[in-house]
Amino acid sequence: MDNESTHEYQSLLTVLHECMVACNTCYQACLQEDDVQKMTECIRLDRECADFCSYFEQAISRGTAYVSELATTCITICKDCGNECKQHNHDHCQKCAEACLKCAEECQKLLA
Amino acid sequence: MDNESTHEYQSLLTVLHECMVACNTCYQACLQEDDVQKMTECIRLDRECADFCSYFEQAISRGTAYVSELATTCITICKDCGNECKQHNHDHCQKCAEACLKCAEECQKLLA
Amino acid sequence: MDNESTHEYQSLLTVLHECMVACNTCYQACLQEDDVQKMTECIRLDRECADFCSYFEQAISRGTAYVSELATTCITICKDCGNECKQHNHDHCQKCAEACLKCAEECQKLLA
Amino acid sequence: MDNESTHEYQSLLTVLHECMVACNTCYQACLQEDDVQKMTECIRLDRECADFCSYFEQAISRGTAYVSELATTCITICKDCGNECKQHNHDHCQKCAEACLKCAEECQKLLA
């Protein structure tokens, strides 16, 4: 990968960043919900997905040669997190689900 | 910090993300320059600054209570990286310097 | 810092690694406790402390010039996490408190 | 994964940590070598491998459900970094190669 990578992957970089922010926003909001007992899987997956997207963002911008491998794992994690979030009515969960599924889609386009 | 944190810190989040991307873009470009021997301090500081901005981005979006402490260190690192980059004529260095100094400024506003 | 840094900071590197593992072990265990409602502050601080120690570990081993700044923040975060964990009887919380306070102490020695 | 994960994966956690430290030690030493021009691929892979091992360490200790996916990518990155390092006579490169290949092996045992 040459130093054009940040141009080539501009839309993925944006979507990964938005997904990371949405997951972490959902994470901190879940920890403040009255029904936190029901949100533990959401909390775990929010951190998992935020951490992976943050890692992947950095890796792309420093020119990683492993975009395909990372995108494949990213799809799995984003789908799992998005599907968990979709089941909860909290606004932050719905927004997070949307961001995760958009991110999974963008990774899939890349691999196509 | 409540779950409004990502709104409150929206502009800082954006600037940190841009600084991380600029530093990593500069990092990979420096490693491909003919005069890489002269760029080693730039390479080291690019990674340092990218890693810190990436960490800080995540910390803010998950609602860290340590924004001031992290912003203080961020200013130091961004200034050091920006001042090193400013000395090199490469386009990626000049762009990186600009992003670093903008990020330092945004952190300073926060602490004011 | 020259490439002797990993020797100079060997004991800090070990303690940071142990603290990161203890915090993350406590984090995942808290999310599985029946009284998760009472553990939310512990969960938040566990992640905060694990993330910071992980960052600091990496920074030291790549030769960061910002050991003092990072150690200062590390002391604050480790103490906050350790003091929260100390209040809970769960075995993982007690072990985590011990690891956090040991890490804070090691950072303090460094700054002395 | 339950909270026994850090016991189950104890040897992998240790090996990942050692690999991260070896890669970062090699990274900072390479940047100080007279023949830095010849070490640029080594520098890039050192950071790549250190960043991934650091991520994977954290993910395991917080109980990730994606151990297999991450181990698969870890094998690829560790082998690439180890094979690059093996070609250089610098002591830090030889040590790094050893740590990388040990880490790849440990991941392979896990997947077997």
Judge contact between B37 and D37, C-beta under 8 A: yes
Quick one: what percent of chain C has pLDDT higher than 70?
A: 94
- What's the mean per-residue pLDDT of chain C? 94
CA atoms within 13 A on the CB side of D90: 25
Interface of A with C (CB under 8 A): 28, 31-32, 36-37, 40, 43-44, 47
Cα separation, D42 vs D31, whole angstroms: 10
Top residue of B55, B68, B79 to mutate, by most chain C CBs within 10 Å, is: B55
- What number is the average pLDDT over the span D12-32? 97
The yes-or-no verdict on residue C1 having pLDDT over 60 is no
Higher pLDDT, D4 or D89: D89
Q: Taking CA atoms, what residue in B is nearest to A29?
A: B3
Compute the distance between CA of residue D18 and CA of residue A88 in angstroms, rounded to an integer.
Answer: 41
Amino acid C64: pLDDT: 97
Share of chain A above pLDDT 70, in %: 94
Cα distance between residue C71 and residue A20, in whole Å = 27
The answer to whether the beta carbons of residues D51 and A55 sit under 8 Å apart is yes
Q: Which residues of A touch D76 (CB under 8 A)?
A: 66, 69
pLDDT, residue C51, reads: 98
pLDDT in tens, D81-101: 999 999 999 999 999 999 999
State the ipTM, two decimals: 0.92
Name chain A's partners: 3 or more CB pairs within 8 A: B, C, D
Query: C45: burial class by Cβ within 10 Å (0-12, 13-18, 19+)?
Result: buried
Evaluate if residue D1 carries a pLDDT over 70.
no
CATH number at residue A62: 1.20.1270.360
Give how many domains chain A has, as a whole number. 1
**Residues of B whose CB is below 8 A from D28:** 44
Residues of A with CB under 8 A from a CB of D: 44, 47-48, 51, 55, 58-59, 62-66, 69-70, 72-73, 76-77, 80
Q: Which domain holds residue D62?
A: 8-111
Residues (pLDDT < 70) of chain B are 1-7
Contact assessment for residue B103 and residue B19, using Cβ atoms and an 8 Å cutoff: yes
Classify residue D3: in a domain, yes or no: no
Question: What was the pLDDT predicted at A1?
Answer: 39
Q: What percent of chain C has pLDDT over 90?
A: 93
Q: What pLDDT does residue C28 have?
A: 97
Q: Pick out chain A residues at pLDDT < 50.
A: 1-3
Look at residue D21 and tell me whether its pLDDT is greater than 90.
yes
Write the CB contacts of C107 (distance below 8 Å, at least 6 apart in sequence).
C12, C71, C72, C74, C75, C78
- Contact check, Cβ <8 Å, A51/D59: yes
Is residue D6's pLDDT more than 90?
A: no
Q: Mean pLDDT check: name the lowest of A52-61, C4-13, C24-33.
A: C4-13
CA–CA gap between residue D19 and residue D53 (Å, rounded): 7
Q: Which residue has the tokens 């985590």?
A: C96
The per-residue pLDDT for B5 is 57
Q: How far is CA D92 from CA B45, D47, D56, in A?
A: 21, 14, 23
Chain D residues lying within 8 Å of A77, measured CB to CB:
66
**pLDDT digits 0-9 by tens, D29-70:** 999 999 999 999 999 999 999 999 999 999 999 999 999 999
Give the nearest partner residue to D77 out of A44, A47, A66, using CB atoms: A66
Nearest to C36 among A32, A37, A47 (CB): A37
Taking phi over 0 as left and psi of -120 to 50 as alpha, with beta for the rest, A76 belongs to alpha
